[in-house]
Structure 1
Amino acid sequence: MRSRWMVLAAAAAVSLGLAAPQALAPKAQASDNGIAVNAPLMGWSGWGFLQRDPSAAKFKAQVDALVSSGLSGLGYVYANMDDFWYKCPGSQGPDVDAYGRWVTDTSLFPNSGSTDGMQVLADYVHSKGLKFGLYVTPGISAQAVSKKTQIKGTSYTADQIATSNSASNFNCKGMRTIDYSKAGAQDFIDSWADEFAGWGVDYLKLDGVGPGKTSDISAWSKALAQSGRPIALNLSASLSASSGPTWSSLANSWRIDGDIGASPKGYSFPLTSWTNVSRRFDDAAVAQPNGGEGGWNDLDSFGVGNGDDDGITGPERQTNMALWALASSQYMLGADLTHLDAGDKALLTNKRLIAIDQDGIPAARVVKSGNEQVFAKREKNGTWYVGVFNTDTSASHTFSLPLAQLGLTGSAKITDMINDDKPLGTVSTYTTSVAAGGVALISAVPTSGTGGTGELVSAASGRCVDTDGGNVYFLGTKEQIWDCNGGINQEFSLTSAGELRTMGATECLDVYQGSTSPGAKVELWNCDGSSAQTWTLNSDGTIVAQKSGLCLDVVGAKTANGTGLQLWTCNGASNQKWSRAYR
């Protein structure tokens, strides 16, 4: 255990109104394939620019630019082929091989001898030190069904696993759904995943899925796991936050909105629009609890890189990048990398933005008021990252943000995270003018200690309030006592609303179902502004639930690791006394 240098009792809080994210269902255990464990993936997606007109030559040009621009050296290492890589002759569905799997369009992606054109492309990507991504949709081609193609390694055929219903394929059509209760169904997906693994695929985008396609997602997740190659699984698109626990248990990332692109079908530019960027504020806020170790919310690729062809203004491009970073979304480029705009490249290569994205802490929205939205998160070292957004695209606005509204006590040293680490002074209330459609993205470093962020230490045991499970958690996870270790799951910030925020200041100490009865369980939940999450820290060491007047208590006055917390009638016992510890 690291030594404690100060232990203080905290004072009571003054309540302020906060705009609240919605509470969601519990977060499931993240995908455990060993990919994207600590941070979301970074790279380039072919759909943003190539869209409906890819070819080997065009794709290789983007791969070359990904390297020569220096972007790959900053972590953008995935080069992902999207739709239109396979032969699609018409409504009968994609052309298939002898085992019912799509075949590469060799007029666009030529073979090299007996080596498939997709493997040729994958080999080229790997030769550049990068990783290769590919695209697929659910189901099985109607051609495979009509031809009764064999399912590799079995005696079953395609018609025995298919239904008469259509499966999603947005551009080619002609896909049929699979009945996964039928023998041979999983074997078919396994054989396809094995082929992709043999080609050298490192990332697979499964498009056209949603709550009704969970069986397809599960089948592909299992198939990739048995393929013998680490392959990240990305789900697309507009997936509901309410099913986030399902997505996070099966995949490494999932799209929570539609396409970022604003161009007419078949055209690359403009890359995006303010409408498509700004609608993601609510999506990022609502889906925030679902992102974490091994699985991340995906806001789609950036609409940044090609200057006037982006479709958004300079300040709006900063908003695009900053919101994605604060949300710890996949950081995927979508532009024509062979014609990067100099100003846009400065944003795409901003190491501070990349670090904020890669910290693995999806920010919580703490303000939504008029033209102002504020997203914030606290790092393990006590530094806060805060984005103050102006959603008015017609005029600049001045905003004032009391740092206590975040849970940062006292003053902090403020630094501009977009504009060359420009120091902005030491303040307790951050006041700034934000350009139309723009953002002020700052770091806030408390001037003393951790700015009110610290551990809650039990007087009875000397152990700390702890969120069970560490960085991988469920909303509704019990709060318990455990040996103090300085983990982010033991660090709490008291906001001016009386919340005790933890897990990067993105989740709150909560009374189960708002109960006011002695014995009510104390748990972790998404901060929602409710009275079940407001506390008063008294000078005598008690922590009192404001709704009930009951005290935070260790169940049974026990002192062992793993003992849960509850509310109980205040009685002055040591198991109801707490001190604040700052490291």
Structure 2
Amino acid sequence: MRAVLAALLLACTCLTVPAAVSADSAVSADPTVSFSDNGLSIRPAMGWSSWSFVRRWPDEAKMRAQADALVSSGLAAKGYVHVNLDDFFQKCDANGFVVDSFGRWAVDTAKFPSGIKALADYVHAKGLKFGFYVTPGIARNAVTANRPIEGTSYHAQDIADTTQTHKNYNCKNMYRLDHAHPGTQAFINSWANQMASWGVDYLKIDGVDATTVADVEAWDRALRQTGRPINFALSNNLPIAQAATWRRLANSWRTQGDVECYCGPGPNGSGFPLTDWAHVVSRFNSAASWQQYAGPGGWNDYDSLQIGNGDQVGLTADQRRSHMTHWAMAASPLLLGTDLTALTSVDLAILRNDRLIAVNQDGVAAQRIVNSGVNQVWRKREANGDYVIALYNTGTSGNSTVSVTWSQAGFTGPAAVTNLWSGASEGTVTSSYSATLRPGETRLIRARPNVQRYEAEGATISQGTVDSNHAGFSGTGFVNYTNVTGSYVEFTVNATAAGTATLTLRHANGTTADRPMTITTGDTTLTLGFPGTGAWTTWANATFTLPLTAGANTVRATATTDGGGPNVDYLDVTPP
């Protein structure tokens, strides 16, 4: 599996998503809005979190048992490597959180007698990563006792705004911070440094909303200054109006409230069932709205994956497969919420399906292209030109026939279809696909068009820029060659078999001068002229043939004059 994930990481250098193809589709990720540059979560995180099943009663033994099960079940080998301790590890009194000598939450030693570092060390020894939890602000007890801020002359009362409190789901009593005071950043830094010293690899900050941007910014700075790579996750039900801000600061962000139904028989709705179909289906509209904000380094988080304990989690087997399909298609973090010590064989087959994991880890969030009653269809285009398409019957009664045309999905012509749940080939399908689905059932397919498209903006560019100022281009832009000899665009073209391929380079030349280029692959070089097309918005096709080998091929289009090359939009390849 490591080899598969490595290949996916390499593939992301040429990843593109077509423009929306229906009124319901979201546009592809806005390239002008930056992602967090902390270098983490290039692909969605995978692992387990304590909240759904363990809920308010985590302890050292339970956390170790879940880490053990993550490894023994084979899930860790598939990429599920995070073990995240959520809320209720802290100690509280009548005034809120008990704090340490520097005003930070104190760990409940009755639950964690060996301490958090020892637990993190245990998790790390198994080849896994350890996650932790916090909410914004400073505890009332820290302010009442006026605890010093570690490494400074400041104290808690210097940085607390006692006129306002923050949202907190456990001990409450969290005052807001005065972010204009230098002691505030020092306080958050000290907390982040403590977590780093314990070995924290993932931090969830809960209770985030539109009023807490300054807190998120402070925690982002604090985590960076530790020098330890810590995946930064935000929760929950974040407003989409600030989506660009969350994307700039964090590696994931919860788009809604909890997926748990809180309808179990235990205290506070704990116990089975963990969720229900209505809570899962509510993520479909959310995913359609948030799709454009996901990409390498930052992901829309649709909450825990409630698969593992069979029907008792509150979902039928069909609904659980749809749950997994949707999280995979949406490129959501895959953080299990179930009891890993009691996994069923049916659910293990769902969770360990390499084809589904690859869909989640391909770095593309799918777009919705059909939304009609209980019928939904979603699609994404992967870096190699394949289209992954999910068809759903979201209803709770009655079969429904769900259909999609290839033009709706973003391509035309016949395609080789593979069923990704079973791995079986469904042969070549000419122009559309249909499936009659039970209530809650899904069909997930990979469609490999006979013509594969490689967008120029996703290729390797030397002496050129990606621009979007001339209309009519495909994808998110086109390549504007620098006006020098030797400027080039280089595509990585995949072929399943060796032979002669037909290639079409879409281009525009708004001048009257020819802009010739050499087209090279392997030992073959062609020299082609690219005369004026009449305007920069008038696109033309240059079609030629080249020999390809099985596997990855490098196709480079290099300018041979000081005028550079024409603007290049994409390369279409009809493989051997």
SS at structure 2 position matched to 1:317? helix
Identity %: 44
Q: 2 CA distance for matches of 1:161 and 1:305?
A: 45
Q: 1 CA distance for matches of 2:126 and 2:21?
A: 53
| Alignment-derived partner of residue 52 in structure 2 | 48
- RMSD after superposition: 2.9
Cα distance, 1:379 vs. partner?
A: 1.3
Q: 2 CA distance for matches of 1:557 and 1:288?
A: 42
| Pairs aligned (count) | 480
SS at structure 1 position matched to 2:341? helix
Q: 2 CA distance for matches of 1:63 and 1:179?
A: 38
- Letter matched to residue 24 of structure 2: A
| Alignment-derived partner of residue 24 in structure 2 | 19
| Alignment-derived partner of residue 182 in structure 1 | 181
Is the contact between residue 304 and residue 310 of structure 1 (CA under 8 Å) also seen in structure 2? yes
Q: 1 CA distance for matches of 2:320 and 2:512?
A: 54
Deviations 1:512-542 (A, max 9, x none): xxxxxxxxxxxxxxxxxxxxxxxxxxx9x99
SS at structure 2 position matched to 1:484? strand
- Letter matched to residue 411 of structure 1: P
| Alignment-derived partner of residue 105 in structure 2 | 102
Could you tell me which runs of 5 or more consecutive residues in structure 1 were left unpaired when the two chains were aligned.
Answer: 1-14, 112-116, 469-475, 489-538, 544-551, 562-569
Could you tell me which runs of 5 or more consecutive residues in structure 2 were left unpaired when the two chains were aligned.
Answer: 1-19, 469-474, 482-487, 494-503, 518-531, 543-570
Cα distance, 1:27 vs. partner?
A: 5.6
- Letter matched to residue 66 of structure 1: L
- Letter matched to residue 572 of structure 2: Y
| Alignment-derived partner of residue 40 in structure 2 | 35
SS at structure 2 position matched to 1:415? strand
Is the contact between residue 121 and residue 199 of structure 2 (CA under 8 Å) also seen in structure 1? yes
SS at structure 1 position matched to 2:93? coil
Alignment of 1:132-531 (within 5 A): 132-164=130-162, 165-264=164-263, 265=268, 267-419=270-422, 421-427=423-429, 428-446=431-449, 448-450=450-452, 453-455=453-455, 466=466, 479-482=478-481, 483-486=488-491
Is the contact between residue 304 and residue 335 of structure 1 (CA under 8 Å) also seen in structure 2? yes
Deviations 1:544-572 (A, max 9, x none): xxxxxxxx8759999799xxxxxxxx983
The reply on whether 1:76 has 2:75 as its aligned counterpart is: no
Is the contact between residue 371 and residue 390 of structure 1 (CA under 8 Å) also seen in structure 2? yes
| Alignment-derived partner of residue 524 in structure 2 | none
TM-score by length of 1: 0.77
| Alignment-derived partner of residue 556 in structure 2 | none
Distance 1:156 1:352, change over 3 A: same
Alignment of 1:544-559 (within 5 A): none
Q: 2 CA distance for matches of 1:184 and 1:128?
A: 38
- Letter matched to residue 443 of structure 2: A
Distance 1:407 1:252, change over 3 A: same
Could you list the runs of 4 or more consecutive aligned residues of structure 1 that deviate by over 4 angstroms after TM superposition?
Answer: 15-18, 22-27, 454-457, 462-468, 476-480, 552-561
Cα distance, 1:438 vs. partner?
A: 1.5
Is the contact between residue 29 and residue 294 of structure 2 (CA under 8 Å) also seen in structure 1? no
Cα distance, 1:19 vs. partner?
A: 2.7
- Letter matched to residue 138 of structure 1: P
Q: 1 CA distance for matches of 2:479 and 2:77?
A: 42
Q: 2 CA distance for matches of 1:251 and 1:412?
A: 38
Q: 2 CA distance for matches of 1:383 and 1:477?
A: 18
| Alignment-derived partner of residue 85 in structure 1 | 89
Is the contact between residue 392 and residue 402 of structure 2 (CA under 8 Å) also seen in structure 1? no
Cα distance, 1:486 vs. partner?
A: 2.6
Is the contact between residue 30 and residue 292 of structure 2 (CA under 8 Å) also seen in structure 1? no
Cα distance, 1:157 vs. partner?
A: 0.4
The reply on whether 1:576 has 2:538 as its aligned counterpart is: yes
SS at structure 2 position matched to 1:576? coil
Distance 1:395 1:211, change over 3 A: same
- Letter matched to residue 84 of structure 2: N
The reply on whether 1:125 has 2:123 as its aligned counterpart is: yes
SS at structure 2 position matched to 1:176? strand
Distance 1:326 1:542, change over 3 A: closer
Is the contact between residue 27 and residue 292 of structure 2 (CA under 8 Å) also seen in structure 1? no
TM-score by length of 2: 0.78
Cα distance, 1:314 vs. partner?
A: 1.2
Higher relative contact order structure (alpha carbons within 8 Å, sequence separation ≥ 6): 1
SS at structure 2 position matched to 1:442? strand
Cα distance, 1:167 vs. partner?
A: 0.9
Q: Which moved more, 1:28-37 or 1:204-213?
A: 28-37
Q: 2 CA distance for matches of 1:324 and 1:106?
A: 36
Distance 1:18 1:110, change over 3 A: same
- Letter matched to residue 345 of structure 1: L
Distance 1:229 1:154, change over 3 A: same
Deviations 1:46-75 (A, max 9, x none): 101101011101111111000100000100
Deviations 1:217-260 (A, max 9, x none): 00000000001211111000011233221111111111111111
- Letter matched to residue 579 of structure 1: N
Is the contact between residue 100 and residue 151 of structure 1 (CA under 8 Å) also seen in structure 2? yes
| Alignment-derived partner of residue 547 in structure 1 | none
SS at structure 2 position matched to 1:401? strand
Cα distance, 1:339 vs. partner?
A: 0.4
Distance 1:300 1:158, change over 3 A: same
